[in-house]
Amino acid sequence: MHERNCVQFLIFLHMDVSTFETMVTKTEQSRIDQLDQNNIQFGKLYSDHMLVAYYEDGAWKQPQIMPYGNLSLSPATSFIHYGQAIFEGVKAYKDPEGNPAIFRPYENFKRFNRSAHRIGMPDVPEEIFIDGMRELISLDRDWIPTADQTSLYIRPFMMAVDDFIGIKPTTKFMFMIISSPAGPYYADPVSIYVDDRYVRAFPGGVGFTKAAGNYGASMFPMTQVRKMGYDQILWMDGIEHKYVQEIGTMNVFFVLGDTIVTPGLSDTILEGVTRDSVITLLKDNGYNVEERDLSIDEIVDAYHAGNLKEAFGAGTAASIAPIRALTYKGEKLELPPIDSWTISPWIRTELNDIRYGRKEDVHGWLYRF
């Protein structure tokens, strides 16, 4: 390996009988001095490098890790016009000794390819998604913050890049991974508006994927509820407008009496990695968890009966987001004081202790390198 301001070397990754050669070009000048460990804002600063891989002529080409920078694309690039784009959210942490680990990336890898299949895109090989992510984060490991409630947010994404305006099966794709130091997504418990007009997803659609269009369609309703003074939306189903789906961009849990209820998975609900982690830990520790249809009427009835004990969102970006109040049809359902809660604070601590290496990882969720 030859050392100079810009260092290039090859890492050989193997898939079946093919060989991927990932060329790594290190930045000439790191921007790590821009990272203020005491003031990390989500999505404001990006680490030094990014991974790029192209798919063309039915095959993936040589992946590259290169300095983070802007892209040059044709104005006719297909994803701009037709929204054929998907993404994932992953996080890396450091243990007390400073060793990095990525939390459950194989679950994100599997979900990414489920999204790709539904949106008409090629599968990304493990050797590009997982091994490429490992090499990228290893190179930028100094960007992983160490304070509690901080992490390195990792964003894999793929987009159709045919330079053609017209509806046809796309043949060219670009896969990328970028990363960004992240602090808490929500600093305080959130106030939620229950929306029975706008809908996030419909049966037979793409609600179970992390398709870019799912989030684009939520922007107008989200803007409206924030003007009304709320932090997020609790989405209802698209048929009867009464069954709980997700909260904002997260899965959602309600503590009703001594039972924790979350909507069951379907083609309208994202199979969240944090959701699965929460359910696993709760069941491991003897809690009663139900995955089923949950109507807003049942939640309102539980509130009036004094049985709505806690409610929280669960997702990679926000981790565990306590809900302090829900407003439905003009009625504000104030939950008990947060300091009286027991389940969501426990689950947040439990998850963080595993992620930061403070507790034994009995499920093998941490991908160490």
Q: Which amino acid is at 320?
A: I
Token pair in block for residue 69: 């920078």
Query: Residue 98 region, left (φ>0) first, then alpha (ψ -120 to 50), else beta?
Result: left
Q: Which amino acid is at 185?
A: Y
- The domain segmentation of the chain, as residue ranges, is 8-184, 190-355
Percentage with pLDDT > 70 across the chain: 95
Q: Which residue has the tokens 């390195």?
A: 152
CATH number for 8-184 (one of 1.10.260.40, 3.30.470.10, 3.40.50.300, 3.30.499.10): it is 3.30.470.10
pLDDT of 187 above 90 = no
Percentage with pLDDT > 90 across the chain: 88
Contact 119, 87 (CB under 8 A): no
User: What is residue 20's predicted lDDT score, i.e. its pLDDT?
Assistant: 66
pLDDT of 17 above 50 = no
Digit-coded pLDDT (tens) for 155-182: 999 999 999 999 889 999 999 999 999 9
Phi, psi torsion values for 362, nearest 5 degrees: -70, -20
User: What is residue 313's predicted lDDT score, i.e. its pLDDT?
Assistant: 97
Question: What's the pTM?
Answer: 0.93
pLDDT of 6 above 90 = no
- What CATH architecture does domain 190-355 belong to? Alpha-Beta Barrel (3.20)
pLDDT of 191 above 80 = yes
Please state, rounded to an integer, the average pLDDT across all residues of the chain. Answer: 93
Digit-coded pLDDT (tens) for 231-287: 999 999 999 999 999 999 999 999 999 999 999 999 999 999 999 999 999 999 999
